[in-house]
């Protein structure tokens, strides 16, 4: 089975802190994604990566950056956390060459910024 592991289920940070959310997948997927999920808004794409060291902005990249130094790991960085970044964050991965295959998700990180 595909395993996508997010480093924390729950995280509490303070305004202005630099926050790192880590995601690791074990299926050799080329594509990796970061979403945030808010009630009534569904999932919105923050950033994605289709290869090591490659990154592309999604729909809501402001206030975030990402890092992909290794194929299996995709990190989301909140440069200076703000209260409006309190949300559920979901990481996903998929094969690049199989467009009919689903994205596989981690369990999510519920991040609270105080």
Partner 1 sequence: AQKITQTQPGMFVQEKEAVTLDCTYDTSDPSYGLFWYKQPSSGEMIFLIYQGSYDQQNATEGRYSLNFQKARKSANLVISASQLGDSAMYFCAMREGDQTGANNLFFGTGTRLTVIP
The footprint of partner 1 (CB under 8 A) covers: 9, 31, 33, 35, 40-45, 48, 50, 56, 58, 88, 90, 92, 94, 96-100, 102-108, 110
Task: Specify the residue, 15 or 106, whose C-beta has the smaller distance to partner 1.
Answer: 106
Task: Specify the residue, 19 or 90, whose C-beta has the smaller distance to partner 1.
Answer: 90
Q: Give the Cα separation of 18 and 33 in Å (integer).
A: 20
Beta-bridge partner residues of 12? 112
Task: Specify the residue, 10 or 69, whose C-beta has the smaller distance to partner 1.
Answer: 10
Q: Give the Cα separation of 67 and 69 in Å (integer).
A: 6
Q: Give the Cα separation of 77 and 79 in Å (integer).
A: 6
């Amino acid at each position: 089975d595909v395993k996508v592991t997010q480093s924390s289920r729950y995280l509490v940070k303070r305004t202005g802190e630099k926050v790192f959310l880590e995601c690791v997948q074990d299926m050799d997927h080329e594509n990796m994604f970061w979403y945030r999920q808010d009630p009534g808004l569904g999932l919105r794409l923050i950033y994605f990566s289709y290869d090591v060291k490659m990154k592309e902005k999604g729909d809501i990249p402001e206030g975030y950056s990402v890092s992909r130094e290794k194929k299996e790991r995709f990190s989301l960085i909140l440069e200076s956390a703000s209260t409006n970044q309190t949300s559920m964050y979901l990481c996903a991965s998929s094969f690049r060459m199989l467009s009919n295959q689903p994205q596989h998700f981690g369990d999510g990180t519920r991040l609270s910024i105080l």
